[in-house]
Amino acid sequence: MANQADAAFEKALAQYRRPVLNFVYRLIGDATEAEDVAQEVFVRAYRHWGEYDPRRKLSTWLFALARNAAIDRLRHRERHPTEPLPNVIIANPARGPAAEAQAHEIGERIAAAIAALPEEQRTTVVLVEYHGLSHAEIAEVMGGSEKSVESRLYRARRALRETLKDLL
């Protein structure tokens, strides 16, 4: 029986490692920390695998674990601030240097605008735009209603339009 559970967990890990990592990265904004948090998520998932209800969508359960772990990390970061390392830019040889710099700047501005949103709005935007979850799935991840998801998404998009109006 343990081998079946381990095989199911390995399958889940293979399928959801990248989406969970991307989700966590979009919430906390640091690649190294995102790797650590994503690993914590899968350790928690493994420990609680027997509690997972197969009637629920696995991605929803994992994103809920990831959201909680990311919030924990953000709270820890607030209590123990550190000086961030500068980002490394990886050039795309298919674009010229000017286009590459402009694309990088736009990407940085969008990421900063999303990061500046309140946590619940940021989480909602990331789950809709980057992971394609439905409002019902997001409500399950966040423990709320579909109406609250719609409201947060509306407010987040309005704030992003205002912040990024010169790009639109």
User: What residue spans define the domains of the chain?
Assistant: 1-82, 96-168
Q: Residue 33 and residue 54: Cα distance in Å, rounded?
A: 29
In this prediction, residues 56-64 reach a mean pLDDT of 92
Could you tell me the CA-to-CA distances from 118 to 1, 48, 99, 112, 149 in Å, in that order?
A: 43, 29, 31, 12, 13
Does the pLDDT of residue 86 top 50, yes or no?
no
pLDDT at 2: 58
The confidence score (pLDDT) of residue 111 equals 84
Domain 96-168, CATH number (from 2.120.10.30, 1.10.150.130, 1.10.1380.10, 1.10.10.10): 1.10.10.10
Amino acid symbol at 125: V
CB 61 within 8 A of CB 107: no
pLDDT at 90 over 80: no
Q: Is the pLDDT of residue 156 over 90?
A: yes
What proportion of the chain, given as a percentage, has pLDDT over 70?
89
The reply to whether 1-82 and 96-168 are identical in fold is no
The residue ranking higher by pLDDT, 31 or 97, is 31
Summarize pLDDT for 93-118 with one digit per residue, the tens: 666 777 777 777 888 888 889 989 99
At residue 22 the predicted structure's pLDDT band, cuts being 50, 70 and 90, is very high
Averaged pLDDT score across all residues of the chain? 85
Predicted local confidence at residue 81, as pLDDT: 67
Burial of 133 (0-12, 13-18, 19+ CB in 10 A): buried
* Residue 157 · residue 122 · CB < 8 Å: no
pLDDT score of 146 more than 90: yes
CB 9 within 8 A of CB 54: no
Q: Which CATH architecture has domain 1-82?
A: Orthogonal Bundle (1.10)
pTM value surpassing 0.85: no
pLDDT for the residue numbered 94: 64
Give me the mean pLDDT over the 72-90 stretch.
Answer: 66
pLDDT of residue 88: 45
